[in-house]
Amino acid sequence: MRAPLLYQFYVALTVLLVPFAAWIATRKLRRAGYPALRAHEKLGHASVPRIGGGPLIWFHAASVGESLSVLALITAMGRALPRAQFLITSGTPTSAKLVAERMPPRCEHQFAPLDAPGPIKRFLGHWRPTAAIFVESELWPQMLRRTRDRGTAMALVNARLSERSRASWRKRPQTAAYVLNVFDLIMTQNDEMAQAMVDMNAPADRVARGINLKSLSEPLPVDPQTTARARAALKGRPVWVAASTHKGEEESVLDAHTQLLTSHPDLALILVPRHPERSAEVETLIKARNFSVALRSRDESPAKVEVYLADTLGELGNWYALSEIVFLGGSLLPVGGHNPFEVAQGDAAVLSGPHVTNFAETYSEMTSRGAAILVDDAEALAQEVEMLLDNEAYRNGTVLAAQSFVRGRADQLDTIAQRLIRALSLEDSQ
């Protein structure tokens, strides 16, 4: 298939812009504490050797959620392919840190190369992937086409694009067909997205409905020492958690907490902003309402405070372990919602706002089963939290429904792994 003019123009543009993009990307990683060796991975310079003579399967994800969602899949494929090595690439320092803490066997992490000729050629020349599996919406045109041109088998899993992205691709049908034709298999999160991919000129015979990989992830890690210290400090006080909140949502959470304290004066709120760098801003909001507050980043204790600001990364599992009531942010505002599976795996009831487009099919099924509760505003949030606090049977029923929903999906992981192995002809490489 001949490259469309728009693709050729894009390639030429990236050649001109790569010096500026490289400066920005490497500077960001250096500021995050990574040495120059690792920062230069963005330019395609590998920081570790390619190990082993067996097949190398490359997974590419964008950031934290996408990266963590494939770790269980890598583990499952590793069991089926004992000679295979795995490479996972992502773009953010946060994703790199969390992946490093949970790395499956025979796996390396690198920062993804910039979508420009030089970085991609160096990257592919070093790693020589046997197969490449892209996650969700990572459709970088040159990365995809140059990988395919090397004869690499390719798949897109957990495919999910926003309506805005879909509309943009539909306006460029030749380019969309040229890019999407690289995949041997496209597995979407639901039927709607499967049809959307076909409408974007993906090969219809290679598109199939899969499952949201985030439902198959391992439970979040829990540090027993951290949770034991927190429980001792809380001394049996009731606790609820508001996790992954975004700018503009903490006000509603704090309003709900104000209402709850009138009937539950010893209630503690663990507030976990999505972006810990907003800690000072959120602390100011808390103090403006005259709440007593302690910060995790300062290693302060939650004892006797009304709000505990958990402003660190990688500790959500600890906070979920402290309460059976969790509200997930990114949902009172049109952000799209966050991962309810992690809450259910933490044995907690799932509360969310109405804006859950990122997990629309998941929340639809969970709410119909009584496994999740949607609220519209601070008042409704306070009412639901109070019901969960006061009504043990209601709380237990919601938690059990969420647990049952997650368990029902666990047996599908090996099925997905085997489907990818067959589609990418990886059984022949062992």
Q: Is 66 a catalytic residue?
A: yes
* Max CA separation in the chain (angstroms): 69
Site of tokens 């309506």: 163
Q: Check if the beta carbon of residue 269 is closer than 8 Å to that of residue 306.
A: yes
What is 64-109 written as a DSSP string?
HHHHHHTHHHHHHHHHH-TT-EEEEEES-HHHHHHHHHTPPTTEEE
State the first-to-last Cα distance of the chain, in angstroms, to the nearest integer. 31
Catalytic residue among 66, 306, 324, 342: 66
Own/partner pairs, 25-29, CB within 8 angstroms, 24+ separation: 25/114, 28/93, 29/93, 29/111
Order of strands across the sheet with 293-295?
A: 293-295, 307-309, 268-273, 239-245, 325-328, 349-352, 372-374
Distance CA 61, CA 308 (A): 32
Distance CA 15, CA 27 (A): 19
| Secondary-structure breakdown of the chain: helix, strand, coil percentages, each rounded to the nearest 5 | 50, 15, 35
Q: Which residues are catalytic?
A: 66
